Structure 1
Amino acid sequence: MSSQVRGGTRWKRFALVMVPSVVATAAVGVGLAQGALAASFAVSGQSFKVSTDKLVGEDFVQYGSVAVGKDLEGKEAAHPVAVSGFSKATITNMCQSVVTPKVPFGIGNVSLQLSAGTNPENPVVATNLYLDVAQLDTDAYFENIDIGVAAGSVGAPGIQPGTEKGVNPNGFAQRAKKATLTDVKQTAWATTAGTFKLSDLSLKLHKGVKECF
């Protein structure tokens, strides 16, 4: 793969497990930024799944980091993640799910499932969105993409506020003016946003395992 591609670039059905935040990148291996810290808070011991029909993001940036916290047993845990950032993103037909295992009183597994933006004319809208991604499957189209940028030079929206000291400014990163993702299936450890408008929000609890995908 060329270290830099300009114009429209498309990769179909790629899977992402990157070690360098509804989401995206070219299928390339990247180096872990030593001592990096992803979200500016301790993540929970549960990853969650997000699916969406379409995500259109402006000013896409991505770099490597680590999401740290404790597992459900209270032990220290760290998870390598690809942090994907967007200055603005619109998301159509978003589903988010997380499964809590072994709830007491004989309840067993409980799934929380959230949906929003089901009407394409009234999608979910987020600003300064950051996603700590562990795995991603999607069809992706990037405009004006730069691969191999130093993390400290990615430009807006930049490194997630509050985590700058934990990111190697000379580490691997990439950026694009615009990213369009369709048929998104993502596993993540954290999401942060400056604003997050969830139109047609619906939240439900289910006994057993009921995930977005």
Structure 2
Amino acid sequence: MQNETRGVTRWRRSACLAIPAAAAIGGMVTAMMQGALAANLSLTSVPFKLSSKTVAAPNGIGAVMHTVDAGGAKTAAEVGLAKAGLDGICVHATQSVNLPVVGNLGTWSLNISSPAAATPLTPDQLASGAGLQANKLILDAQSLKAATATLNASDTTPNVIGAAADGANIKTTGIQDGTPGQFGLDATGGRTDIKNLNADANGATIAGAITLPDLAIGVAHGDSGC
């Protein structure tokens, strides 16, 4: 009798363990089949890591200080790219799962990824339409790092550190909520190239369709990245 009881317990626990995976994947089945996520992809309030091997923004970037709700108000940098080409992307989020009756199931990872090209794409290729293409990519990041970043400019439109957060050029990147009088970075005068982008973020939006070749969405027990 004890063995039968343990068997039933294991079956119920296995069913409950499947719930997070089913919930995370179920709503994205169509996207997986088509290899694309529809417009207005939005990840908010849940901390996650975003990484990409190479990013090219033909129209440059803008950045302002921003407040996000991540279990309480926190200050982050809101970075906007009017257009971006990316050589691969990984979004990695973790969450603790605690279910009634069953109890704490520990930490689970959700990974959304599209791999980089077998032969690394150059910024020129990405800017001309190769790789993953996204419009109005907005990222709320508490930490953003890159191996190298080149912010090009022109004589008529130089990079401005300390630009008005609500300036017209910054708004062209997709950032519409910059606070008047606050600090902003206006680097919209030329293409921005970023190598090995890694961001600890609390929010990301894409105000347009993004095509993700070889899209993979997976749920794993523990803190396991792409």
Q: How does 1:44-63 map to 2 (within 5 A)?
A: 44=45, 46-57=46-57, 58-63=59-64
2:175 corresponds to 1:160: yes
**Among residues 170, 175, 183, which one is paired with 2:196 in the alignment?**
183
Q: How does 1:104-123 map to 2 (within 5 A)?
A: 104=99, 105=102, 107-119=105-117, 120=121, 122-123=130-131
CA distance in 2, matches of 1:91, 1:158: 16
Q: How does 1:37-116 map to 2 (within 5 A)?
A: 43-44=44-45, 46-57=46-57, 58-68=59-69, 71=71, 77-104=72-99, 105=102, 107-116=105-114
- The answer (yes or no) to whether the contact 2:51–2:89 under 8 Å persists in 1 is yes
**Among residues 137, 158, 175, which one is paired with 1:129 in the alignment?**
137
Length-normalised TM-score, structure 2: 0.64
2:212 corresponds to 1:211: no
Where in structure 1 are there 5+ consecutive unaligned residues?
1-40, 72-76
Residue 136 of structure 1 aligns to a residue whose secondary structure is strand
Give the number of the structure whose residues are more often helix, by fraction.
2
Length-normalised TM-score, structure 1: 0.68
Give the share of equivalent positions with the same residue, in percent.
21
In the alignment, which residue of structure 2 is the partner of 1:16? Answer: none
Deviation at 1:42, TM superposition (A): 10
Residue 152 of structure 1 aligns to a residue whose secondary structure is coil
Q: Which amino acid aligns with 1:118?
A: A
Give the number of the structure whose residues are more often strand, by fraction.
1
Q: Cα RMSD between the aligned structures?
A: 2.2
CA distance in 1, matches of 2:173, 2:194: 20
Runs (4+) of structure 1 moved beyond 6 Å?
none
Larger Rg: 2
CA distance in 2, matches of 1:115, 1:205: 12
Residue 52 of structure 1 aligns to a residue whose secondary structure is strand
Residue 51 of structure 1 aligns to a residue whose secondary structure is strand
Deviation at 1:196, TM superposition (A): 3.7
- The answer (yes or no) to whether the contact 1:124–1:196 under 8 Å persists in 2 is no
Deviation at 1:158, TM superposition (A): 5.0
CA distance in 1, matches of 2:95, 2:167: 39
In the alignment, which residue of structure 1 is the partner of 2:164? Answer: 150
CA distance in 2, matches of 1:200, 1:67: 31
